[in-house]
Amino acid sequence: MKSKNLSLGSSLLITLSAVLMGISVLFPWWKMVFYAPQYPEGLNIIVYPNKLEGQLDIINGLNHYIGMANFGESNFSELSYLKYIVVGLVFITLLTAIIRKKAVLYGLIGLITLGGLLGIYDLHRALHDYGTHLDPHAPIKIAPFVPPILGQNRVANFTTHSLLGTGAYFLIAAFILLLIPLWKDRKK
């Protein structure tokens, strides 16, 4: 007979997952690195859950020539509340570890999966908007484009690499830790 309760070991894994989620906000979740002959060391846009860093002024100055809107924290309302969503998920994850019910864990996994998919959609939408809503009066005319969420893209003489940041790896590890109890406690 299958138990509806999670073991103490599973509860500890869920607690560790909450810790990794919390730590993730201290690190970048995503970044883009732009390379060109005049910038062999690369220019960065580094995205934390609550701020943007990198050489934004230089990138915005260059993007002006192709008619792309400026990157800035004011353009991404998500940065004002995303950290609080993570804190809420940490709290819910800790409650799940205390309650130790499989049904609650399934709900948490569903919630995090939905949030992750919404986050990916939101990032894709932003990249689409930046790459396709170019000013037609810009000095340099290029075809609209959509930078990839992960991978490489080439626009004019710039090669762009989109990468996960350290914080994203903490989130992935946290999610995997939530899945392990489902396998570990599948039979009692």
pLDDT tens digits, one per residue of 28-49: 999 999 999 999 999 999 999 9
Q: How confident is the model at residue 178 (pLDDT cuts 50, 70, 90)?
A: very high
Q: Give CA–CA dist 127/125, Å, rounded.
A: 6
Cα within 13 Å of Cα(175), Cβ side = 16
The one-character DSSP state at 63 is H
So what's the pLDDT on residue 4?
85
- Phi and psi torsions of 126, nearest 5°: -65, -45
Q: How confident is the model at residue 183 (pLDDT cuts 50, 70, 90)?
A: confident
pLDDT above 90 coverage of the chain, percent: 86
Q: Are strands 39-47 and 52-54 parallel, antiparallel or unpaired?
A: antiparallel
So what's the pLDDT on residue 86?
96
**Total Cβ atoms within 10 A of residue 48:** 21
* Of residues 22, 120, 32, 43, the one with CA closest to residue 78: 120
Asked if residue 2 has pLDDT above 60, the reply is: no
- Domains of the chain, by residue range, sit at 8-183
Q: Tell me the mean pLDDT in the region 181-188.
A: 77
- Phi and psi torsions of 161, nearest 5°: -115, 125
The one-character DSSP state at 101 is B
- Work out the angle at residue 140's Cα, subtended by the Cα atoms of residues 134 and 144, and round it to the nearest 5 degrees: 35
Is 91 or 76 the better-scoring residue by pLDDT?
A: 91
Asked if residue 75 has pLDDT above 90, the reply is: no
Per-residue pLDDT tens over the stretch 146-169: 999 999 999 888 999 999 999 999
pLDDT above 70 coverage of the chain, percent: 97
So what's the pLDDT on residue 187?
66
Element housing 128 (H / E): helix 102-132
Is 72 or 98 the better-scoring residue by pLDDT?
A: 98
* Of residues 185, 186, 164, the one with CA closest to residue 28: 164
Asked if residue 1 has pLDDT above 70, the reply is: no
